[in-house]
Amino acid sequence: MYNNLLLEIKNNSAFIMVNRPDKLNALNSETIDEMKVLFNKLDKDDKIGCIIITGSGEKSFIAGADIAEINKLDVISAKSFSEKGQLVFQIIENLSKPVIAAVNGYALGGGCELALACHFRYASENAKFGQPEINLGILPGYGGTQRLARLINTGYANEMILTGNIIDANEALRIGLVNKVFPQNELLLRVEAIASQIASKSASAVSSILKAIKSTNEIPLKAGLEYEVSLFSLSLGTEDAKEGTSAFLEKRKPVFKNK
Ligand code: COA
């Protein structure tokens, strides 16, 4: 069904594997188009509570946008190229369920930017991160300048994007680019366990949490606190809130119906 993506569903979690191993999973236009279709579909699928994205093979998460395509761009086509990638990454960022990047090797250029658009990131010990666009005479166009500076800090973002240097998993952990580093053969199992933990929660609470935390990049604290009040009060109107609080008082495990 997809030429460049593999999909596996396990325990209410969806695993997406970018699958162009001969090109180190570089994101060509077709892959970006397929991601748009798949993420929109998974967003509407009530059986899926969490999504994991990784790369096929043992060497690469995603080695960037496809440089063969970039080589053919001019000023006009580069604008739509950049806008198209940014749109898909914004779909990911705004999804109603979390998307976790399981970075299993090179996450360069568009691959690092995709990881940045995910809600959080884990890495294998062999993972490598970088924004090497400067070496091609260009700059990141899928959100790298914006999200890297917001996630870590402007000093590290300036250094990574201006030098094009590649950092290893431990350095990525140290600067806050990833949450944890796992041995390569454990990465997917460990991320799967975290995804299934999240998928067992109330989907409406999960979705409200994502909206509230995302708003911190967009609105001032006072407005954010008001937004939290409205989301919190709406959450108390759900069956899941009654179930979660009753289950605590009755000393049993809650069974959420996502209502
Ligand atoms: N776009 C298109 N093709 C890419 C690619 C990319 N971003 N990254 C790797 N590939 C292709 C290579 O051209 C090569 O294809 P070929 O076998 O048809 O020649 C194949 O993937 C394997 O890559 P190769 O460079 O031979 O592997 P390596 O182990 O020697 O080096 C990297 C790995 C990641 C260091 C190197 O591929 C690289 O620097 N890639 C580009 C990274 C980049 O600049 N990304 C930002 C793009 S905006």
* CATH code for position 57: 3.90.226.10
Does residue 132 lie within any of the structural domains?
yes
pLDDT for the residue 258? 84
**% the chain with pLDDT above 70:** 100
Could you report the per-residue pLDDT of 236-254, keeping only the tens digit for each?
Answer: 999 999 999 999 999 999 9
Residues 113, 212, single domain; the answer is no
Relative to beta strand 167-168, strand 128-130 is: antiparallel
**% the chain with pLDDT above 90:** 98
Instruction: For helices 144-151 and 110-117, give the axis angle rounded to 10 degrees.
Output: 50
For a substitution probing ligand 1, which of 24, 106, 128 has the most ligand atoms within 8 Å of its CB?
Answer: 24
Assess whether pLDDT exceeds 90 at residue 29.
yes
Average pLDDT value for residue range 147-152 = 96
Residues 193, 224, single domain; the answer is no
Closest CA to 7 of 29, 35, 33, 32: 35
Active-site residue 93, yes or no?
no
Q: Which of 34, 93, 133, 192 is catalytic?
A: 133
Residue length of the chain: 259
Does the CB atom of residue 112 touch ligand 1 within 6 A?
no
User: Residue 8, SS3?
Assistant: strand
Residues 28, 145, single domain; the answer is yes
Residues 234, 176, single domain; the answer is no
What band does 161 get if pLDDT is binned at 50, 70 and 90?
very high
Domain boundary among 160, 175, 199: 199
Structure tokens at 56: 């096929």
Q: How far apart are CA 216 and CA 224, in angstroms?
A: 7
Atom 22 of ligand 1: nearest residue by CA position: 23
Does residue 254 lie within any of the structural domains?
no
Assess whether pLDDT exceeds 90 at residue 40.
yes
Active-site residue 30, yes or no?
no
Closest CA to 69 of 112, 32, 106: 32
Q: Which ligand 1 atom sits closest to the C-alpha of 138? A: 48
Does residue 259 lie within any of the structural domains?
no
Could you report the per-residue pLDDT of 209-234, keeping only the tens digit for each?
Answer: 999 999 999 999 999 999 999 999 99
- Strand ranges in 27-79 using DSSP code E only, listed in sequence order: 50-55, 60-62
Identify whether the C-beta of residue 179 lies closer than 8 Å to the C-beta of residue 120.
yes
Assess whether pLDDT exceeds 90 at residue 1.
no
- Other CB atoms within a 10 A radius of the CB of residue 257 amount to 11
